[in-house]
Amino acid sequence: MPTVEADPGPFSFAPESTALLVIDMQRDFLLPGGFGESLGNDVAQLRCTIEPLTALLAAGRAAGLKIIHTREGHLPDLSDCPPAKLRRGPMIGKEGPFGRILIRGEYGHDIIDELRPEAGEPVVDKPGKGAFYATDLSKILDNDGIKSLIVTGVTTEVCVHTTVREANDRGYECLVIKDCVGSYFPEFQRVGLRMIAAQGGIFGWVADSPAVIAALQE
């Protein structure tokens, strides 16, 4: 069984029951000139994940891992956007440089070209930060007998953390890939990763992508 050096200890996984989860690598969050940048964020903090994630995705596909992508977004009529979220994010649904912001079907809502899903890879659309709530992710994982998740994407302390917390409560083993998750805020990248592995791995494990790629290629 492939084993990866990780914090707080070695992480072993069976490729046939492991999925690589790629969270919210959407143009709205990652493209220069996009919605994320318009909020005053430095998208370079997120874009540094693209290169290692591209390599990890290739290795995961070659090893036959199930690949699952997620996108945060809402229906065009905003009927799945809670009022409390809309009030705090009044730009949701407004015209942005890449179409209506965080609206399904718009250019900005879709995944960046570098990480485009391949045919047959599920894309889970989620209305919240977590990828389990109000989605069919649990069903997809159960149907394929998935037990372990290799987690990547953005942002570390928001959508990645919420999804890992949901997955952990559901009994999935989560390995979060340090160089393939990103936050606009370096402080949150640091503490977000530290919280995952604290107390004996209270939410899961943390490792680097080269270690995972090496384990997949063994």
Partner 1 sequence: MTATIGPVRADPYPWPYDGAAPVNRTALICVDWQTDFCGPGGYVDAMGYDIELTRAGLPATAKLLQHVRDLGMLVVHTREGHDPDLSDLPANKRWRSARIGAEIGGPGPCGRILIKGEPGWEIVPEVAPAPGEVIVDKPGKGAFYATNLDLVLRTHGITHLILTGITTDVCVHTTMREANDRGYECLILSDCTGATDPANHAAALHMVTMQGGVFGCVATSDDVIAATEG
Cβ(6)–Cβ(201) under 8 Å?
no
Which residue of 89, 99, 117, 210 would you call a contact of partner 1, by CB under 8 A?
A: 89
Q: How far apart are CA 9 and CA 11, in angstroms?
A: 6
Whether 69 contacts 117, CB under 8 Å: yes
159 noted as active-site residue = yes
Residue with tokens 């994940």: 49
Distance of CA 181 to the CA centre of its chain: 7
The one segment of 15-23, 44-52, 86-94, 104-112 that binds partner 1 by CB under 8 A: 86-94
What residues are paired with 207 via a beta bridge? Answer: 177
| 9 to 37, 58, 202: CA distances (angstroms) | 36, 25, 12
128 binds partner 1 (CB under 8 A): yes
CB of 41 to partner 1, least distance (A): 9
Q: How far is the CB of 88 from partner 1 (least distance, A)?
A: 5
* Residue list 22-51, contact with partner 1 (CB under 8 A): 39
174 is catalytic: no
Residue 79 binds partner 1 (CB under 8 A): no
Determine, following the binding rule CB under 8 A, whether residue 88 of this chain makes contact with partner 1. Answer: yes
Nearer to partner 1, 23 or 195 (CB): 195
> End-to-end alpha-carbon separation of the chain, Å?
10
Q: Judge whether 126 counts as a catalytic residue.
A: yes
Contacts of 187 (CB under 8 A, 6+ apart): none
> Shortest approach of partner 1 to residue 76 CB, angstroms?
19
Min CB(87)–partner 1 separation in Å: 4
Q: Which is nearer to partner 1, 59 or 206 (CB)?
A: 206
Instruction: Please choose, from the candidates 68, 67, 71, 57, the residue with its C-alpha nearest in 3D space to the C-alpha of residue 24.
Output: 71
Pairing status of strand 148-154 against strand 18-23: parallel
Catalytic center residues: 24, 126, 159
Provide the binding-site residues for partner 1, judged by CB under 8 A. Answer: 9, 39, 82-85, 87-89, 127-130, 133-134, 157-158, 161-162, 165-166, 168-171, 173, 185, 187-188, 191, 194-195, 198-203
